[in-house]
Amino acid sequence: MPHHEEATLTASDGHKLGAFVGRPDGKPKGGVVILQEIFGVNAHTQHDVDFFATNGYTAIAPAMFDRVERNAVLDYSEVERGLAIANAIGEAAVIADLQAAIDAVKSSGPVAVIGFCWGGALAYLAAAKCTGVDRAVAYYGTRIKMYCDTMQPKAPMMYHFGALDKSLPPDAIEKIRAADPVGVAHLYEGADHAFTNDDRPLYNATAAKLAHERTLAFLAKG
């Protein structure tokens, strides 16, 4: 069973942010940074940390909202509030906080950055702008389409898209794939946005299982 702890990270500009950490039994295979949806480091994000720690990785979920509102955990109905908090954080600050989380787990081995929704776009940003990223995985990263015109990932990436996700229509997916032609992209028929989140109505157990299996195989490449 993984071991959990709360941690405090310090970014390069001195900002301190919280983090939820899961450590595996035995020697870790590597480090994983788990990046939240727009609802904070909630129970489901902690479950994601637990999943990767159970699979042998030191996993950390930085509280990316701490720049605006400390310890913010939003209800799934509070989409507009989550968007407002995310939009209030400047790109340089986001990168600094991402780097702090990456640095916190790099002693465990190769580092993968894995994000969901807003966090999926942040995984792309980390792969493009941060150091020490060996791999990155974006699950339904809606905002990647805002970044891919001006930056490309420097680390290998895997993308998971739901075919029913209206926030990522086919033209947006093609734009992302064109920006990162060597990235590995998977499209899940019958899956919508947030299809891996079993706390939300759009959860698709079959697609989630396959996506996580593909992610673990991707991480195993080092």
- Report the alpha-carbon distance of residue 102 to residue 164 in Å, rounded: 32
- 66 an active-site residue? no
Cβ atoms < 10 Å from Cβ of 124: 32
H/E element, 4: strand 3-10
Q: Are 115 and 86 contacting, i.e. CB atoms less than 8 angstroms apart?
A: no
Which among 117, 130, 148, 192 is annotated as catalytic? 117
Which among 44, 160, 193, 212 is annotated as catalytic? 193
Cβ atoms < 10 Å from Cβ of 27: 8
Which among 66, 97, 134, 165 is annotated as catalytic? 165
- 117 an active-site residue? yes
Handedness of CA 158, 115, 195, 109 (dihedral sign): positive
Q: Are 214 and 158 contacting, i.e. CB atoms less than 8 angstroms apart?
A: yes
Active site residues: 117, 165, 193
